[in-house]
């Protein structure tokens, strides 16, 4: 398993070692000991899966403290553009974002620490996304940032006229107005 730093503290790309042969492939998608040896120590308590069609943009979502969630994201089928935004006040990368294509072909994963907003756009006809969380879903701590915030200027790789959003995601606040009780280093 290869762990790659992204330039945003605590945000990592995880590349599994894939064993291919004429039967197909095998890889280890998660190993607590391997991550712990790299200084990444989460205890995941909930797995989530979603299926979306081309053009869907989900996010940007997060849970406030004390119910903030770290997430390990991967794609079971299809292709997405996965995005994480640093919401941690005092962070040298506060307000910066990182995006990465995740697919069933590249098998890359994105490990998103607490204090980041997360979202993705679906670039294939359909996509199935699977992610682990280290905190249970707590709707009373649910928060988010509008996907098209002009200050963030995220390129979602979807034409504006093809974007599909939920009513909830369409009504999220701008980054500057979003609820935020994250502090860098805590």
Residues assigned a catalytic role:
61, 131
Task: Compute the distance between CA of residue 18 and CA of residue 69 in angstroms, rounded to an integer.
Answer: 28
Go through the chain and tell me how many residues it has. 186
Tell me whether residue 41 is exposed, middle or buried, using C-beta atoms within 10 angstroms of its C-beta: 0 to 12, 13 to 18, 19 or more.
Answer: exposed
Tokens found for residue 8: 């945003």
Alpha helices by DSSP H, listed for the chain, are 32-37, 167-170
144-183 residues labelled b (16+ CB within 10 A) or e (exposed): bbbbbbeebebebebeeeebebeeebeebeebeebebebe
By C-alpha distance, which of 66, 65, 70 is closest to 32?
70
Note whether 133 and 70 are within 8 A (CB).
yes
């Amino acid at each position: 398993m290869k762990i790659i730093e992204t330039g945003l503290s605590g945000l990592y790309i995880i590349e599994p070692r894939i064993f291919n042969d004429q039967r197909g492939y095998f890889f280890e998608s998660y190993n607590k000991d391997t991550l712990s040896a790299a200084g990444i120590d989460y205890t995941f308590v909930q797995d989530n899966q979603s299926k979306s069609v081309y053009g869907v943009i989900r996010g940007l979502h997060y849970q406030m403290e004390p119910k903030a969630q770290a997430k390990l994201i991967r794609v079971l089928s299809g292709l997405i553009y996965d995005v994480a935004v640093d919401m941690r006040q005092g962070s040298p990368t506060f307000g910066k974002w990182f995006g990465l294509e995740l697919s069933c072909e590249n098998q890359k994963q994105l490990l998103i620490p607490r204090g980041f907003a997360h979202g993705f756009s679906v670039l294939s006809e359909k996509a199935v996304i699977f992610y682990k969380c280290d905190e249970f879903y707590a709707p009373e701590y649910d928060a988010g940032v509008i996907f098209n915030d002009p200050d963030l200027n995220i390129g979602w790789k979807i034409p504006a006229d093809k974007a599909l959003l939920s009513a909830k995601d369409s009504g999220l606040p701008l980054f500057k107005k979003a609820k935020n009780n994250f502090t860098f280093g805590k």
